[in-house]
A and B are shown apart, each in its own frame.
Chain A
Amino acid sequence: MRLDQYESRFKRAAKSVFEYAPVPFETVLLVTDAEGQDAEAELERARAFLQPLGSTEGVRWVALRGDQYHTSHELVALVSQHKPDLLITHRSLKEADKDPIYSLGTYLDVLTQVAPVPVLVLPSGSLPQALKRVMVVTDHITGDSRLINYGAALLGEGGDLFLTHIEDEGTFERYLGVISKLPSLDTETARRDILEQLLKEPREFMESVQKALAVPGAPQVEVEPIVRLGRSVRDYRELVEARQVDLLVFNTKDSAQLAMHGMAYSLAVELKRVPLLLL
């Protein structure tokens, strides 16, 4: 018993620390169903939105027009040929319904599963003039430096980087419900200690982000940590609206699966008016 106690203390003391790493962008590929001048206009619109990346020298901006592919296989092959560092696209490519309910469309579904690079999903309609407020979303942010590095890399100087970690209240309560039926565990102690540790780790990780991004050479952005217990999708939606977020960044896959995981898919289909960066 004491062995486990000391091991827990040392595990607690071993912190996960954010590691800043610049994200290299050499090729940005826009996948659109528009053709000709419309495709070029769409590319310019994306460049304007993605400032400062849009005006960075040495970055190759390429548009893949709708007439260049006719099946998802062809699209995947073309994407592979270009070896992009960032894919930009929108929902419902080559579909009549441009405002679908609870769907990303066939092509985007495939891209999110097979593309080895981040996919930026732009909404239909107007885009903000430039990126000012980026929100990084995860329910397991600790140790996820890549997600934050992408968010910081796309954000302009002086922009706001919201780091959000919402611990799912439903899951937490379900486990507490089980604990409440185990006489060997004190329910109130478990509630207090588990919740404290669950929220402590992301808070500490976010503090390390603030420290790492405060040094010269790192993107000079304002970091605001948001850590709490809540209902993931509902709370993220409220936060996006309250903070007037220009871009939402989140993971879509974990190491054990190819397809989008539950919360990512829910966010992707529900937050249709916000640009999304899917990693």
Chain B
Amino acid sequence: MYLLAEAADAAAHAPPGWVTALFGGLLLCMVVALALEEKLHAKKSVITGIGAIVCLLAGQALDVLPEGPALLQGHELHLPIYVAAIDWEVIAIILGASLFVDVTSKSGIFTWIAVKLTKLSRGDPRRLLWFYGALTVAFSAFLNNVTAMIIVGSLTAVSLKRLKLQGKLLGFLFVEGLMTNVGGLLTLISSVPNIIVGNAAGISFGRFFLVASPYVLLATVASIYLGQRVFQVAPLADDEARAAAAAQVDAFDENDGIRSRRFFNLAAGMFVLFILGLALQSQLPLVGGEHGLGMGFVALAFAAGMLLLYKHEVDKFYAAVDWDLLAFFGCLFVVIFVMEHAAVLSTMGQGLAWLLDRGENLGVVLLLWSAAGLSSVTDNIPLSAMLAKILPQGRELTASSMEWWAVIFGANLGGNLTPIGSASTVVAVTIMAKQGVPVTFVRFVRLAVPFAGLQLALASGYVLLVKALIT
């Protein structure tokens, strides 16, 4: 992010208390509006956009915003404050990764993997639950949570209908919805909170994976096992049923969506290179290091490479980009920037300090559960963006500090507590309703509490274990 010339002196002219309270109220209004997004029938970008406009006008009127040019490595840049306030690295990662995944998916590779796995299950419900659960985790880790839920959820609806297992559809979709947020913990690019917090903490892709992967494995096994028990997903009883189910899944053609074998192979190769590129980015010449081009550049470069295959119709892919999400991020960064200068974040930081002062270990666990609780009722993106800003205030944190991980685990797993806790659980609930197995808010929470409780308990223990091992 750019430095603003006056930003360093922000503490010097801290705004009066009533100004901080006013901006705190504005922030609260925006957060509530985001939580009620569905009720308001307004997209996130519109809500945060209005929030950003109001905050900027109020900030300007009350002399909260810093003045002067933006500084980029000592060079002055004349950028509007609402441009300089945005973390463009995060935007570049999201834009590049989503474009890359969108073009790659045209090759049919993701549907191929999903159908192949369905056939490997031989149509056995219990095996199918484990396979789909694991597939959701893998897709969430390397694509994004929403795409993973869309792919696995729609395949689940089609395959269970074919296997005449519609009675198990709710259980399958529910488990998959929860697994998206577990898989979303696996890599730095798996979810937006990871990107925001990881970026702020300076955690590399490789380190993120090394720390997160044992927990993801543990939580995946525990959650699917619990799902199997809660939703009574039993294996097929006899040979006749097994043969009939196998015949049904054998009729799936995994090659149906592949229009060009060459493109399919190329996409598979590029996907592996993309993951490797992100994993090794910090070590690569030109892109790695403090002054390197960064991970956003890697994501955008791979997207541009794949778009070359569709060079005459790139506009279709541009149209498919989730502009609402990108505009939401842009506006959110602006709001947080204003809040920072209105001393709202430092005030919130005092509350956070109280939490962390409860004890070295208890403080981290309380932070994790608090982040989860807040994430369950509001969007985890503004939450993680604010916590990423607040956390380092007055503390000596490094990339190894477990406070970062408490926020990452809490912000991701908190989405599993309610149907509005994360974008992927919203998609899961949408698929349930579309397939004729709607769940109410209360029923979802009742079903989700044992799963989320288990995942958060495991995460608490895991964070403390890693903390003990590091220190």
Contacts and interface: CB of A to CB of B under 8 A. Distances in A.
Q: Do A and B come from one complex?
A: yes
B260 to A, nearest CB: 16
Nearest to A2: B150
Contact of A7 (B115, B157, B427): B157
Contact of A14 (B150, B247, B252, B427): B252
Nearest to A1: B320
Interface string A1-32: 01100110111111111000000000000000
Contacts of A13: 111, 115, 252-254, 256-257
Interface residues of B, number: 25
Interface string B366-380: 000000000000000
Given A10-B111, A10-B158, A17 B431 contact: no
B150 A3 contact: yes
A3 B252 contact: no
A104 B89 CA distance: 77
Contacts of B114: 10
Nearest to B152: A6
A3 B427 contact: yes
B251 A15 contact: yes
A7 B153 CA distance: 9
Nearest to B110: A6
B13 to A, nearest CB: 48
B153 A3 contact: yes
B226 interface: no
Nearest to A12: B256
Nearest to A208: B251
Interface string B87-119: 000000000000000000000100100110000
B154 A6 contact: yes
A11 B115 CA distance: 11
Contacts of B254: 13
A274 to B, nearest CB: 34
Interface string B147-173: 100110111011100100000000000
Contacts of B159: 10, 14
A10 B431 CA distance: 14
A6 B111 contact: yes
B68 to A, nearest CB: 44
Contact of A11 (B153, B158, B430): B158
Interface in A56-77: none
Contacts of B157: 7, 10
Contacts of B108: 9
Nearest to B430: A3
A17 B427 CA distance: 32
Contacts of B154: 3, 6-7, 9-10
A9 B257 contact: yes
Contacts of B147: 2
Nearest to B115: A13
A84 B434 CA distance: 46
A15 B159 CA distance: 11
A9 B111 contact: yes
Interface of B: 108, 111, 114-115, 147, 150-151, 153-155, 157-159, 162, 247, 251-254, 256-257, 427, 430-431, 434
Interface of A: 2-3, 6-7, 9-17
Enumerate the 7 nearest inter-chain pairs by beta-carbon distance, A residue then B residue, closest first. A7-B154, A6-B154, A10-B158, A13-B256, A17-B251, A10-B155, A15-B251
9 contacts: A3-B150, A3-B153, A10-B111, A10-B115, A13-B111, A13-B252, A13-B253, A13-B256, A14-B251
